[in-house]
Structure 1
């Protein structure tokens, strides 16, 4: 797949250490499956840097893709956390990877993730809810309640009888809605 330019249209803090991005595909075709990952490139100080990120969006969401980026020491990741602005251009190619979900792959899907590993699974959950009649259960673990990426959205989605959500924390006492 060719490398294509995308525009940052939304930057938000998903957790204290995870930045959410919405990237406009600018009318370009971008083919991927729920749960796959992409290569993401940024031109930083005249040098093109690359890193792989899992897609949190679904193929049913047309015109844009979404990422959740945990703090780290990769130049692209540092840029996203400290220098990126709405309107900036990044470059992507993908989707890649053999772990994904497509309609018909199963009617009862169980997913488990820790930390930022929930990003590709969020793409799968969203896809299952939007495009299938399957049931999905997500077990999610994070060190603290504040680090449960997509917690609020998953709580809303779990109001759907086809969605079950079990969040867990490992470094603090459980709170309301968290084991």
Structure 2
């Protein structure tokens, strides 16, 4: 029973905002309060950690492939909410007078607290993705939601032996998870099966290959569905 409680506690401690909320509750109890004068204080603490809207500054743009950029953003007020590897934010933009939004997963590690990296690949006939890749410049401002989504590792259900299928820009949340595993020296084995159309489309190619080469618990299988004649790897699609 003690072991079960410990495992559950470890999961709760990993929930963003939980530790801060418990700390605030403990402070109130130590003060001898009956909580009446602190009504809503804990919720305000949680809300401050998870604002509904973020004002972001584009600080750097990295070209990953001919059709893909990684956009690095920082908070204009100096605070970015923590997130779990695999989560995303909805980015709001106005293009030619039309307001719209799109979700983009963070490709940076949750341990990198000063910025989010958003990896954007131009979608065929895309609207927002073309704007973000072709027109966005460092120094511009963006608005987004806070981090959201349940696509992240849950140790109670997923265990430590993980397999991740990714295609194209789907490598973004996988990169976040890999970087987090390495940075925190987590006891996970992660096998990435990564498919792209062409060799030049492979996002983070050198970086992901380097992680797999240097870390025994990171494995990589790459596939190219439309390989060139000189391609030496695995061709075809995942079936």
Shift of the alpha carbon at 1:171? 0.2
Q: TM-score, normalised by structure 2?
A: 0.68
Unaligned runs of 5+ in 2: 1-50, 235-239
Q: Which has the larger radius of gyration?
A: 2
Aligned in 2, Cα 1:11/1:29: closer, same or farther, shift over 3 Å? closer
Q: TM-score, normalised by structure 1?
A: 0.88
Note if contact 1:49-1:75 (Cα within 8 Å) is conserved in structure 2.
Answer: no
2:28 — aligned with what?
none
1:126 equivalent in alignment to 2:179: yes
1:115-163 per-residue CA deviation (whole Å, 9 max, x = no partner) reads: 2222112111111121213121111000011111111110111121121
Note if contact 1:51-1:74 (Cα within 8 Å) is conserved in structure 2.
Answer: no
1:85 equivalent in alignment to 2:137: yes
Report which of the two has the higher share of helix: 2
Name the CA distance, whole Å, in 1 between partners of 2:134 and 2:112: 27
Name the CA distance, whole Å, in 1 between partners of 2:177 and 2:211: 13
1:100 equivalent in alignment to 2:156: no
1:13 — aligned with what?
63
Shift of the alpha carbon at 1:94? 3.0
2:208 — aligned with what?
154
Q: 4+ runs of 1 displaced by more than 4 Å? A: 102-105
Report which of the two has the higher share of strand: 1
Name the CA distance, whole Å, in 1 between partners of 2:206 and 2:144: 28
RMSD: 2.0
2:231 — aligned with what?
175
1:76-115 per-residue CA deviation (whole Å, 9 max, x = no partner) reads: 3222122111111111213222211256752221111112
1:27-56 per-residue CA deviation (whole Å, 9 max, x = no partner) reads: 213132101111001244455331111221
Unaligned runs of 5+ in 1: none
Name the CA distance, whole Å, in 2 between partners of 1:145 and 1:82: 21
Name the CA distance, whole Å, in 2 between partners of 1:134 and 1:14: 27
Name the CA distance, whole Å, in 1 between partners of 2:58 and 2:195: 29
Relative contact order, CA 8 A, sep 6+: which one is greater? 1
Aligned with 1:39 (options 77, 80, 90) = 90
Aligned with 1:136 (options 185, 190, 203) = 190
Name the CA distance, whole Å, in 2 between partners of 1:101 and 1:14: 26
